[in-house]
Structure 1
Amino acid sequence: MSNKLKIEIHSFSYKKGGIPKDYSGNGGGFAFDCRGILNPGRVEEYKQQTGCDIGVQNYLETVTEMPNFLELVKNLVSINIDNYLSRGFEHLQINFGCTGGQHRSVYCAEKIAAFVKEKYPQTEVMLQHDEQPQLNQHV
């Protein structure tokens, strides 16, 4: 393999910008729709928070189907990452969308980025929160 596999992970809003474009030239990748998970943004105390805040995380992990959703995502993306690594591919994009790009998609993108970094340290992971740019400084 000549170059590292670069894995670009985005959180986004279906209402504001839609699925992020893949500028790698490969097109495609994954787009996971998180809108089937209960929205913590409908709970008053979480409205101003994001998927990086502990209250939102606890809500998603204990009140919703998010843990099951993420396990399925981990299994699915692992199939592709394993395959891409064995074939010398250089780019994979993984996108998580929800209504506003603030709670569910941010949470998923953060969790999957951590998972990929741990399981595949030989890859380069880039994490981008399209609707929450203030969160990008810590990633």
Structure 2
Amino acid sequence: MLHIDIHSFSYKKGGIPKDETGNGGGFTFDCRGILNPGRVEEYKIQTGNDIGVQEYLETKTEMPKFLELIKSLVSINIDNYLERGFENLQINFGCTGGQHRSVYSAIRIAHFIEEKYGNQVEISLHHDEQHHLNISNE
């Protein structure tokens, strides 16, 4: 079974999450090139899990294109890792505060992987700055 750890994190606060499996690999995607909804007053206290922030990212930024490219990249590795019997993959999404863009990206990619691969994988979703949003399907 392939276990996929997905993290959202803050470059300013905690930095890139350490790979606890010992693999020392995986993906880290920098979301700071996407327009930040945290600079819009009504979204400042919200997260990437909130509808308003999600709609902003989907309609006013390049986030949909960004995530489509990421889906293609991670699918290549997941397909290969499943075929070769690998057990761990880590996928990280970072932004300035670990609140909006990275949270949204991590959630969307977790849903994509779950829909595409189903019970072939176990997904753990970690929001390093937004602990109240953490879930796992283990």
How many residues in Structure 1 have an aligned counterpart in Structure 2? 136
Matches within 5 A, 1:98-117: 98-117=95-114
TM-score, normalising length from structure 1?
0.96
* Match of residue 55 from structure 2: 58
Amino acid at match of 1:69: F
Tell me which of 54, 64, 76 is aligned to 2:73.
76
95-104 vs 117-126, which deviates more?
117-126
Cα shift at 1:135: 1.0
Cα shift at 1:134: 1.1
Matches within 5 A, 1:1-139: 4-121=1-118, 122-136=120-134
Runs of at least 5 residues in structure 2 that lack an aligned partner in the other structure? none
Identity within the alignment, %: 77
Runs of 4+ in structure 1 deviating by more than 6 angstroms, as ranges, are none
Q: Distance in 1 between matches of 2:25 and 2:36?
A: 26
Q: Distance in 2 between matches of 1:51 and 1:67?
A: 14
Amino acid at match of 1:21: K
Amino acid at match of 2:41: E
Cα shift at 1:138: 8.2
TM-score, normalising length from structure 2?
0.96
SS at match of 1:120: helix
> Is the 8 Å Cα contact of residues 123 and 136 (structure 2) preserved in structure 1?
no
CA root-mean-square deviation: 1.1
Runs of at least 5 residues in structure 1 that lack an aligned partner in the other structure? none
Cα shift at 1:137: 5.3
SS at match of 2:42: helix
Cα shift at 1:28: 1.7
